[in-house]
Amino acid sequence: MHILAELFDKAAGTRITQIPYRGSAPAIVDLVGGQVPLMYTTLGPIVSYVAEGKLRLLAVADAQRSPFAPDVPTFTELGYKNVEVGAWQALLGPRGLPADVVQKLNAAVNEIIKMPDIVSRTQVMGLTLTGGAPETLARRIAAEDTRYARLIKEFGIQAN
């Protein structure tokens, strides 16, 4: 989310002060309580607050609108270019995992994520399950490693 904030500041020509939190939960409490004016987050932790009308979604930081918030525009639609940091999850194993085990796990996960009860449970968290091949995931990870290493250097981000 730090990188997303930096990308937005660059695109908008602003300098919003970032407040580091120890996780989403305390930041959400402060956002709902009015101690902070905005927050960059994934949909899952705030979906109930949005449903209750306690929080309002302002923009989506992905290439496309979220199927869970179709009325919320992307940053690009709002005129802020290159403000994209789509969130995703993956099942990873240790280096050197035998190829046959990788293929077996991949096939099982690709079937599991199609199960109606799994789809409905993850939709509650604002997740869209896609699955795919291990090679596709490896290429995505490599591309994002390169992108985020460049952005971390560009913005001078350091671990505290």
The answer to whether the predicted template modeling score (pTM) of the entire model surpasses 0.75 is: yes
CA distance 126 to 80: 23
**Is there a contact between 60 and 39 (Cβ–Cβ < 8 Å)?**
no
Q: Answer yes or no: is pLDDT of 76 > 90.
A: yes
Cβ density class 78-114: b for 16+ within 10 Å, e for less: eebeebbbeeeeeeeeeeeeeeeeeeeebeeeeeebe
pLDDT at residue 124, as a whole number: 77
Paired strand residues for 74: 60
Q: Answer yes or no: is pLDDT of 160 > 80.
A: no
Average pLDDT for 84-103:
92
User: By 3-state DSSP, what share of the chain in percent is helix, strand and coil, each rounded to 5?
Assistant: 45, 0, 55
**Lowest-pLDDT choice from 49-58, 83-92, 97-106:** 83-92
Largest CA distance in the chain: 52
Work out the mean pLDDT of the chain and round it to a whole number: 93
From the list 144, 46, 39, 51, the residue with the least C-alpha distance to 89 is 144
Q: Please give the domain boundaries of the chain with CATH numbers for all domains.
A: 1-87 (3.40.190.10), 88-160 (no CATH)
pLDDT 10s digits, 14-32: 999 999 999 999 999 999 9
